[in-house]
Amino acid sequence: MDATLTDREKTAERLLAASAKHSFDPDKELDWDAPFEEGRWFWPPELLSLYDTPLWRRMGDEQRMELSRHEAASLCAIGVWFETILMQLLLRHTYDLDPTSGHVRYALTEIADECRHSKMFARAVTKMGTPAYRPSRLDRQLGRILKTVSTTPGSFTGTLLAEEILDWMQRLTFPDERVQTLTRGITRIHVVEEARHIRYAREELRRQMATAPRWEIEFTRLTSAQAARVISRSLISPRVYAEVGLDPKEAVAAALASPHRQDVMRQSAKRLTDFFDEIGLIRGPSRRVWRASGLMPLPA
């Protein structure tokens, strides 16, 4: 077995051992029957899309709290969409690989995790009593195209795009005592299990980028930049604003113009974009698309 495969197998065995010790069943771990606590946010206010905008300052406390409920539900519903795509990409990755390898066994373990996460997110939306927010028709079609044409390194790039942005936000959420107990429980489970998924994807992507042909790397750069743009604009559905009594056009414009929101999005992606830059994924024309996504700062 060559050094790359040995390294891949060692990583998989460590992650399989961690999965055996630290995996959760959300149906049993979380109290789904408990009522929501009065006066607690559903998502930290500083992470809400309209926080510290002129529109936010005109909103009352009750409307702000409602916004947190609907934005949390939007993130959960969009999370199901992300994870559905990720599961397909992982299955495709394993298609031609040795099914007895630790690497494939861990991929299947991760898929099982993602199935539980998707059910957990869907149940949370039901509990919150909101619509099941979905990406726009355009973004659904773009997602379908991107996952269909994705290269192998592109599959792991997409995994990290979806997971690391939400992971950054969730790490601020689960210890926040201002937030609903159920939300904190959901984010705690997701953070613990996604830490393994992120390590698996990062190490495999680094290996793939070292061996992929030039055409595949160039194609991955372009498709991953487009995926970044789709993901960043899909997190909060514009329907959220209408549901809490705001004008969607005004609210979308306020969020896009907000320096605070721009900073949150860039911070959420900084660890990820630094890694992508290091391994050569953000180069040439793709850098402009990344900046247009709002996940990287504009040049000085």
Tokens 């974009």 belong to 273
Q: How far apart are the first and last CA of the chain?
A: 48
- How far is residue 168 CA from its own chain's centroid? 9
If you search the block for the tokens 């996604």, which residue do you land on? 194
**What is the model's pLDDT at position 158?**
87
Asked if residues 279 and 75 have their Cβ atoms less than 8 Å apart, the reply is no
Q: Which of 59, 24, 77, 63 has its CA nearest to residue 189?
A: 24
pTM metric for this prediction: 0.93
Show the domains of the chain with their CATH numbers: 3-23+40-292 (1.10.620.20)
Q: What is the DSSP letter of 47?
A: G
Compute the distance between CA of residue 74 and CA of residue 236 in angstroms, rounded to an integer: 6
Give the pLDDT confidence score for residue 263 in this predicted structure: 96
Q: Confirm if 111 and 91 have CB atoms less than 8 A apart.
A: yes
The ranges of the chain with pLDDT < 50 are: 1
Q: What is the pLDDT of residue 2?
A: 55
Helix, strand or coil, per DSSP, at residue 45: helix
Q: Give the tokens for residue 87.
A: 């599961």
| Closest by CA position to 202, among listed 268, 171, 157, 146 | 157
- The contacts of residue 186 (CB under 8 Å, 6+ apart) are 26, 30, 76, 120, 121, 124
